[in-house]
Amino acid sequence: MKLQHYSYDNEQWDRPLDASLDSSSTLVIIFSTYSAEKVREPLQKMRETYKDALIIGASTAGNIFMDSVEESPFSMTVIKFDTSKIKLVSTHIQDMQNSFESGRYLAKNLKEEDLKFIYVLSNGLHTNGSELVDGFNDVFDSKLPISGALAADDGKFKSTWIIANGSIDTNGISAIGFYGDSIHYSSSYKDGLDIFGIQRLVTRSKANVLYELDGKPALEIYKEYLGEQSQRLPLSALSFPLAIETATKENITRTVLAVDEKEKSMTFAGDIPQGSYVSFMKANLNRVVAGANKAAEELHLDTLYDGELLTIAVSCIGRRLILKQRTEEELEAIVEMMPQDSTLIGMYSFGEISPTQNKCCELHNQTMTLMAIWERDA
């Protein structure tokens, strides 16, 4: 496995592109804070060099490279695999209600006997993330790990995009499958949030739209908690997500994507089941950084790999808003745990996708999720 990382700004690359990495076994990963219109030019320029490569990418709320948030608005990592096979499948989602079937479609078209893991990138505003992962889980058992992210747009909540079949799609979802005995994978995730206030019953919801808590309009209750910060909704709500209690007592975190003043409702990145119990959460800055460090530790890379290693980080936009000037501390906490010959890339997102103990994938919010990949003879 060979890889190179590039940045694009002011209509030029930071260094010449290495055409020798182009092949049908080459994966190009693009992260960018650019709008969809501005991405087309650098995308076309890189396509002239990497004609045979598979391309996957997403809009972000910040691009991660090693222990820094990149100043460049467009970053690209080119990975040429030695012996492993890769396959890319994309789909266009018309409505959030199609999220489950979109997940099933991607999963069924990637499913092969030697499939080892999947990486998926979805638009962040037209997808119900929890139903998307349910579609994957419906096809695969818990032994097939799936990681990925919901695209973001710097907290504007207006338009996100992904790259599907080499083109920009504001309603798209792309997934890349990795195949063969020489490809290896490790993943982990951690948050850093504390529960506060009383537990509340979801008395009215539909999929990922929350209408009532304890019989009262959800938006009004949220505004009471936020106080003056409610004037900056939905952005300010990213610092105060909801924790959903599950049957196993393991909380699932959900963040807000949109609010409806007329309906007094809130749309979340994933489902808020009616009849479930939820609690408000807030960040503990030290725990957020410590969580990133713990996520890196739990990859156990010191014993699992040899040679070149790529780790893809997906951190929630809410964590960046909470950490502010301390944002790069969580990245430093990861890099200090990584072995030599390691490259860390990533993005700040509207939602993170990572495996759990009993599912091939779950939608997370307010987490640092990590996915490490490398090649080694079986």
Domain co-membership, 212 together with 166: no
Domain co-membership, 123 together with 83: yes
Domain co-membership, 221 together with 297: no
End-of-domain residue from the set 260, 283, 306: 283
CA gap 66, 347 in Å, rounded: 11
Q: Which residues pair with 121 in a beta bridge?
A: 149, 174
H or E stretch at 44: helix 36-49
Q: Could you count the other beta carbons within 10 Å of the beta carbon of residue 376?
A: 14
Place 239 in a pLDDT band, splitting at 50, 70 and 90.
confident
End-of-domain residue from the set 266, 283, 300: 283
* Strand ranges of the sheet holding 362-364, from the earlier edge strand across to the other edge: 85-92, 172-179, 115-122, 146-150, 351-354, 362-364
Q: Which range has the worst mean pLDDT, 47-61, 122-136, 300-314?
A: 300-314
11 has a pLDDT exceeding 70: yes
Residue where the block lists tokens 């691009």:
63
Q: Which residues pair with 86 in a beta bridge?
A: 178
Residue 27: both structure tokens together? 């994966």
Full-model pTM: 0.89
Domain co-membership, 36 together with 91: yes
Residue where the block lists tokens 């990145």:
269
Count Cβ atoms within 10 A of the Cβ of residue 81 and give its class: 0-12 exposed, 13-18 middle, 19 or more buried: buried
Domain co-membership, 272 together with 298: no
Q: Are the C-beta atoms of residues 7 and 74 closer than 8 Å to each other?
A: yes
Give exposure, 10-39, as e/b (b: 16+ Cβ within 10 Å): eeebeeebeeebbeebbbbbbbbbbbbeeb
H or E stretch at 327: helix 327-335
Domain co-membership, 22 together with 113: yes
Domain co-membership, 186 together with 117: yes
Domain co-membership, 100 together with 220: no
Q: Number of helices (H) and strands (E), helices first, in the chain?
A: 8, 27
Place 240 in a pLDDT band, splitting at 50, 70 and 90.
confident
End-of-domain residue from the set 252, 283, 314: 283
Place 305 in a pLDDT band, splitting at 50, 70 and 90.
low
Domain co-membership, 80 together with 38: yes
Report CA torsion sign: 175, 181, 182, 186. Answer: positive
Q: Could you count the other beta carbons within 10 Å of the beta carbon of residue 324?
A: 8
Q: Which of 207, 324, 225 is nearest to 266 (CA)?
A: 207
- Express each pLDDT in 178-217 by its tens digit: 999 999 999 999 988 888 888 999 999 998 999 999 999 9
Domain co-membership, 124 together with 262: no
Which letter does DSSP use for residue 3 in this model?
Answer: E
Domain co-membership, 273 together with 175: no
Prior bond of 42 cis (ω within 30°): no
Number of domains in the chain: 2
Going by C-beta distance under 8 Å and a sequence separation of 6 or more, which residues neighbour residue 325?
Answer: none
Q: Which range has the worst mean pLDDT, 119-123, 267-271, 329-333?
A: 267-271
Containing domain of residue 48, as a range? 2-190+286-375
CA gap 46, 41 in Å, rounded: 9
Residue 339: both structure tokens together? 């072995």
Going by C-beta distance under 8 Å and a sequence separation of 6 or more, which residues neighbour residue 145?
Answer: 117, 118, 185, 187, 355, 360, 361
Domain co-membership, 119 together with 50: yes
Highest mean pLDDT pick, 23-37, 154-168, 226-240: 23-37
